[in-house]
A and B are shown apart, each in its own frame.
Chain A
Amino acid sequence: MNKQAQILPGTLDLLILKAVSLGPLHGYGVLLRIGQISKGALIIEQGALYPALFRLVRQGLLKATWGISENNHRAKYYELTTAGRKRLREEVDGWNRLVAAIGAVLGAQPEEL
């Protein structure tokens, strides 16, 4: 059985925000952290990350600064802005509501209706 799952459309931004909220990361670090937390269950095509990062920067949710990576490469580090933090909270709430609602629907028994 394939344990890996394609991420749902629209959830990439949420995952990036969450990953970055735990501490500044460069792009590759974001991928590593998502992989690490989900224990390799979520796959993101590596290149697809960058358009999403740039979009979030442009929306003012992330800010980027150049720094040096652990093995001495110049890399761009992303961290949450205040707006980003707020957005993350909203998105997480929204997601939890959605999951609860879908879970309720899927868990419904005939006699409950």
Chain B
Amino acid sequence: MPDQLAVNIVMVEDDEGHARLIEKNIRRAGISNVIHHFTDGTSALDYLWNDPHGPAHNGPALVLLDLNLPDMSGIDILAKIKSDPHLRRTPVVVLTTTDDKVEIQRCYDMGCNVYITKPVNYENFAEAIRQLGLFLSVIQVPDAEEAH
């Protein structure tokens, strides 16, 4: 059963470099979950709602969301996820360069679960991602149970 319920990580990140760094650090933290990477909002939304393995139809997922996307704002994706009855329990981690307090506040108000500022200081960044790994292992079980 647990292998069926493995959390899919959906990463919406337009910067390939950032995506690579995030993935590397997630792996370094010892997390081996599948990572689905999308570089634009449209294909990410399509996956979230329409893919048979996507969170709307199937198992639990975690969304890593960048706010600056070429085709839409990550805020819109966040709003869509949090207003959908099937998806609103899906944890969303906002990962972006903005450290504007107002922006952070807004994301939390909209239901974002964790907000991580991409720091230029790499050690902090890596640390944050590893923390995220820990967080993943914590949320995994209750989320899976709720889905069933």
A binds B: no
